[in-house]
Amino acid sequence: MRSEELFERARRCMPGGVSSPVRAYGAVGGVPRFVERGEGAYIFDVDGNRYIDYVLSYGPLILGHAHPAVLKALTEVLPKGTSFGAPTELEVELAETIKAAFPFVELVRFVNSGTEATMTAVRLARARTGRELILKFEGCYHGHADPFLVRAGSGGLTFNIPSSPGVPKGTTECTISVPYNDRGAVEEVFGRCGEDIAAVVVEPVAGNMGVVLPQEGFLEGLRSTTKEHGALLIFDEVITGFRVEFGGISTRYNIEPDIITLGKVIGGGLPVGALCGREEVMGLLAPQGKVYQAGTLSGNPLAMKAGLATLEVLRKEMPYRMLRSRTEELAEGMRGAFGRKGIPCVVNYDTGMFSIFFTERERVLNLEDVRTSSAELYSKVFHALLGEGVMLAPSPYESAFLSTAHDGEVVERTVEALEGALRHI
Ligand SMILES: *Cc1c(COP(=O)(O)O)cnc(C)c1O
């Protein structure tokens, strides 16, 4: 197996053989498939196997792999050069597109990753309020910056690292973590130290402990509590931005956070992140204000162009209802297949994202519920599906994603593959 050979080589020159931890298959065992190429809903490994891909680069590829419009756009700008360290029209166009989708947004700052976006959002919130504490939710992931590595989701959960070595105590002491969907806990913390809290940061639909939906009133409650205590509300829409709506969860529920962070979809598969909001907050960023943030490759023309091409297709096609009904079909198909096999499970989903929890619980609303899910069964299902040509994320805590290339036939084939896979379990 070429993947095996490459993984051997990789481990000799890269920590764990990968550039990001979950990719190493540590949570499910086995050898990671080295990828050769992608096309639409499919990904091909270096051994010539084809898989229906539900990883989709962990969220960016809402149009599927190698979408012709994105490739064409990149081919247009590529010969002009790859980076200038100077402003371009493409940045302005992408910022305008984001503003048009989020009506209250006035200014947008581009960075190179979601991590940078949330990191900067926190700096901005601290500068704006003159306070230091951050309130976050257990199981939510906001990138790998120090203040967020407290009970974080994604790789942090997969490897059971409650916080990471190398993060100074002083940093994590400023982060308070409470259960997702727990308004009482939020009220309690604000009652105790509300005047010291700079911001509440939340994934408005959680996607890094699997998909966990906000209960009715949860997000509205965060908005009113933060407002009452003079703290900022940061919606981390790095996954949900332009995935669940043309806009995000904030526009769906008409809630106005003070800062929204974006990434993934807005880069169309190239490295990008952004933070945005009203001028009274965003205007504090240098050079308009005094809060420092910079980036050699920020606003990179290739990333801007891929993002623009992606958002243009989305705006023209508005595929969200279709994407939602496909996700629902798949979720129902999976529930049915597991049900017939007598395997208790909860399938949570929002538009274009879902996850399966192997739990006896009726609902999965927070990290404690997530933790009742069997990681062992997930590994078995993961490998059995891989054998049937379907690729899920190699961790029970990562969401699965659908693209517009995942049509009815692909979804049907996935459910058939699952039924085949379950015969071996
Ligand atoms: C992926 C993700 C991030 C981090 O983005 P990177 O580009 O990986 O740095 C932050 N927040 C959320 C909600 C994410 O899903």
> Nearest residue CA, atom 6 of ligand 1?
114
- Whole-model pTM: value is 0.97
pLDDT of residue 172: 81
From ligand 1's centre to the CA of 343, what distance in Å? 32
Structure tokens at 399: 């969401």
User: Does ligand 1 lie within 6 Å of residue 240's CB atom?
Assistant: no
Q: Among all chains, which residue has been given the structure tokens 């009203």? A: 278
- The 8-class DSSP code of residue 246 comes to S
Q: Does residue 63 lie within any of the structural domains? A: no
Domain with residue 205: its CATH number is 3.40.640.10
pLDDT the model gives residue 156: 67
- pLDDT, one tens digit per residue, over 368-402 is 999 999 999 999 999 999 999 999 999 999 999 99
The token duo for 130 is: 């003159």
Question: Which pLDDT score is estimated for 157?
Answer: 65
Q: According to the model, what pLDDT value does residue 399 have?
A: 98
The separation between the first and the last C-alpha atoms of the chain, rounded to the nearest angstrom, is: 24
Q: Which atom of ligand 1 is nearest to the CA of 237?
A: 13
User: Is-cis flag, bond preceding 287, omega within 30?
Assistant: yes
> Element (H or E) spanning 348, and its range?
strand 346-350
Say whether both 245 and 362 belong to one domain.
Answer: no
Determine the distance separating the centroid of ligand 1 and the alpha carbon of 73, expressed in angstroms: 25
* 397 part of a folded domain: no
As to burial, measured by CB atoms within 10 angstroms (0-12 exposed, 13-18 middle, 19+ buried), residue 12 is exposed
Q: Tens digit of pLDDT for each residue in 105-159?
A: 999 999 999 999 999 999 999 999 999 999 999 999 999 998 888 777 777 666 5
Is 251 part of any domain?
Answer: yes
Q: Which ligand 1 atom is the nearest neighbour of the CA of 116?
A: 9
Atom 14 in ligand 1: residue holding the nearest Cα: 238
Measure 114 CA to ligand 1 centroid, in angstroms.
Answer: 4
**Burial (0-12, 13-18, 19+ Cβ within 10 Å), 425:** exposed
Same domain, 352 and 296: no
Q: Is residue 173 one of the residues assigned to a domain?
A: yes
* Residues noted as catalytic: 141, 236, 264
**Rounded mean pLDDT, 327-342:** 98
Which of 280, 297, 316 represents a domain boundary (last residue)? 316
Are 139 and 278 found together in one domain? yes
- Identify the helix (H) or strand (E) that includes residue 260: strand 259-263
Contacts of 322 (CB under 8 A, 6+ apart): 404
Model pLDDT, residue 418: 98
113 C-beta closer than 6 A to ligand 1: yes
Nearest-atom index, ligand 1, CA of 113: 7
Is 78 in the same domain as 193? yes
CA-CA distance, 115 to 261, in Å (whole number)? 9
With a 6 Å cutoff on the Cβ, whether 141 touches ligand 1 is: yes
CA of residue 115 to ligand 1 center, whole Å: 6
Number of separate domains in the chain: 3
List the domain range (segments joined by +) for residue 228: 68-316
Q: Which contiguous run of DSSP H or E holds residue 329?
A: helix 320-340
Shared domain for 11 and 113, answered yes or no, is no
- 366: domain CATH number? 3.90.1150.10
- Identify whether the C-beta of residue 386 lies closer than 8 Å to the C-beta of residue 374: no
Q: How far apart are CA 260 and CA 421, in angstroms?
A: 40
Q: Taking 90 as the threshold, does the pLDDT of residue 283 lie above it?
A: yes
pLDDT over 80 at 81, yes or no: yes
Q: What is the pLDDT of residues 294-306, one digit of tens each?
A: 999 999 999 999 9
294 lies in the same domain as 326: no
- Whether 24 and 82 share a structural domain: no
Q: How far is the CA of 346 from the centre of ligand 1 (A)?
A: 24
118 touches ligand 1 (CB under 6 Å): yes
Residue 166: the pLDDT is 87
Structure tokens at 251: 């526009």
Residue 412 near residue 420, CB atoms below 8 Å = no
Domain presence at residue 394: no
Let me know if residue 402 belongs to a domain: no
**Does 182 reside within a domain?**
yes
Instruction: Identify whether 400 is part of a domain.
Output: no
Distance CA 56, CA 59 (A): 6
Residue nearest to atom 8 of ligand 1 (CA): 114
User: How far is residue 118 from each of residues 4, 154, 169, measured CA to CA in Å?
Assistant: 36, 15, 20
- 334 and 370 fall within a common domain: yes
Q: Which residue is it, tokens 């496909």?
A: 326
pLDDT for 159: 59
pLDDT digits (tens, 9 = 90+) for 31-61: 999 999 999 999 999 999 999 999 999 999 9
β pairing state of 107-111 and 273-277: antiparallel
What one-character DSSP code corresponds to residue 25? -
Q: 279 and 145 share a domain?
A: yes
Identify whether residues 324 and 304 lie together within a single domain. Answer: no
- Among 241, 219, 205, smallest CA distance to 105 is for 241
